[in-house]
Amino acid sequence: MTTALRRLRNYIDGEFRDAADGRTTEVVNPATGEAYATAPLSAAADVDAAMAAAEAAFPAWRDLIPAERQKVLLKIADRFEERAEELIAAESENCGKPIALVRSEEIPPMVDQIRFFAGAARMLEGRASGEYMEGFTSIIRREPVGVCAQVAPWNYPMMMAVWKFAPALAAGNTVVIKPSDTTPASTVLIADIIGSVLDELGHSRGVFNVICGDRETGRLMVEHKVPAMASITGSVRAGMQVAESASKDLKRVHLELGGKAPVVVFEDTDIPKAVEDIAVAGYFNAGQDCTAATRVLVHESIHDEFVAALAKAAAETKTGAVDDEDVLYGPLNNANQLGQVKGFIERLPAHAKIEAGGEQVGDKGYFFAPTVISGLKQDDEIIQHEVFGPVITVQSFSDEKQAVQWANGVEYALASSVWTKDHARAMRMSKTLDFGCVWINTHIPLVAEMPHGGFKKSGYGKDLSAYGFDDYTRIKHVMTSLDG
């Protein structure tokens, strides 16, 4: 007997709708490898409808005083808490994530981030008004950019949706957001939550719209004439395609792309504590995090001891079912991603040594063992390219100069960390590491008040913080004569 698949739908102008042409894709639970839902495969007509709704809703939303937009966001945050168990269930099914970890590690920061941007709406920044030319007063206006086309990834579909819609709505923009084709369920639920709040408070539900689909759907969104801004969290390749498409009509672009975070461990480090923290930061969410601590550089004097301790930590790290409270992470998100991680392992050079893991776990779903690989060289494929899986590589360096050279010697520049008791060394490293974030004696904590974003091929623009809010605004100079 075949179980009926749940039917997910687009959310456009306050209505749940199928794709105009009726096309759908199956949505697979990565913990089982089995389909559990269908979602619209949206095409041009669906994108047109969503953009028209967002465009029509924009003037009234833009013209609200910030305090009114704040009320909406605060109510959304409250509703996230009230419906937390629904969100947890949707995200767990979306991604195969352990339920306990979604509850403890995702819901609280998401609620906090929405509330942060609710406050940011009332703290617009700009130069002081004044007379910079005799007889004239200059004023700075900070305004929303317009309709925002947003594309969210599959590694944190729920949280990344928050990172996108919260600053955009707070700044006075309207939104059309597309979740990944593998993880639409939680974003569709978010649409239901936001739509109900907008309705209750008397605002157009066209302020927030969700369309499901694939890469072609995303391309149609970015190339559409209505959006003033395109925002994507995804791969470097996807970011380049978005930047190229947006350039055709000079849309503003916000890109948060891949990472290859160096974790630089010096000889004075507390090895047991560093290993414990690095293993969590490397394996959390199955390493499917662009800031994951998966590229470790260790001083040669402690290399062997560190590798042995890390391999032991990997062997003690558990992956498994969503309802097992002892697991640190669930499966890889999809079959293609499992194949990509396996490919990196299969192509390892002869000088590489697998210290732990290196294989798929179980006979269903897309689980992969926590893995440690040593003996690697700077130009090896697995050092230079993002694996996006539970794989930690280890290199041995001889001095600080070499550590900096190797740490910076990749095309990504999102996040990094330094592990040392030497304060001066930590300060030198934080200056010379070419990454958007440098953690010292920790790796992966984020707070709403501080920016998240990188350099080089990790993209540009900031998520979180007042800087992230500013990215969703434009600046206008108003100058008036004082002589009447």
What pLDDT score does 364 carry? 93
Q: Residues 231, 140: one domain? A: yes
Catalytic residue among 93, 256, 355, 386: 256
Say yes or no: 292 and 252 in one domain: no
Asked if 45 and 121 sit in the same domain, the reply is yes
- For residue 16, give the DSSP letter: E
Residue 200 tokens, joined = 């209750």
Q: Would you say residue 329 lies in a domain?
A: yes
For residues 115 and 247, membership in a common domain is answered with yes
Active-site entry in 95, 148, 290, 437: 290
Residues 294, 212 share a domain: no
**Same domain for 286 and 388:** yes
What is the predicted pLDDT for the residue at 355? 98
| Other Cβ atoms within 10 Å of 431 Cβ, number | 10
Where the chain has pLDDT below 50, the residues are: 1
Query: 471 with 429, same domain?
Result: no
Q: What is the pLDDT of residue 25?
A: 97
What is the residue-wise DSSP string for 365-393?
A: S-EE--EEEES--TTSHHHHS---SSEEE
CB atoms within 10 A of CB 435: 25
* pLDDT at position 1: 44
Q: Do 133 and 275 fall within a single domain?
A: no
Alpha carbon 382 to chain centroid distance? 22
CATH number at residue 471: 3.40.605.10
What number of residues does the chain have? 484
Distance (Å, whole) CA 398 – CA 408? 16
Q: Is 290 one of the annotated active-site residues of the chain?
A: yes
Per-residue model confidence as pLDDT tens digits over 33-85: 999 999 999 999 999 999 999 999 999 999 999 999 999 999 999 999 999 99
The answer to whether 213 touches 9, Cβ cutoff 8 Å, is no
Domain that holds residue 19: 6-257+458-477
Instruction: Say if residue 268 is in the same domain as residue 159.
Output: no
What domain count does the chain have?
A: 2
The pLDDT of residue 126 is: 86
CB atoms within 10 A of CB 438: 18
268 and 252 in one domain? no
C-alpha span between 218 and 93 (Å, rounded): 23
319: nearest Cα among 390, 386, 388, 374: 390
Vertex 10: Cα angle to 4 and 14 (nearest 5) = 125
Annotate 40-65 with DSSP letters as a single string: E---HHHHHHHHHHHHHHHHHHHHS-
Q: The CATH number of the domain where 282 resides is what?
A: 3.40.309.10
pLDDT at 4: 87
> Is 268 among the domain residues?
yes
Tokens of 220: 């149609």
33 and 58 part of one domain: yes
Answer yes or no: do 372 and 244 share one domain: no
Residue 482 lies in a domain: no
Pairing assessment for the beta strands 262-265 and 295-299 based on DSSP bridges = parallel
**For residues 55 and 53, what is the distance between their CA atoms, to the nearest angstrom?**
5
pLDDT value at position 335? Answer: 97
- Domain-located, residue 1: no
484 lies in some domain: no
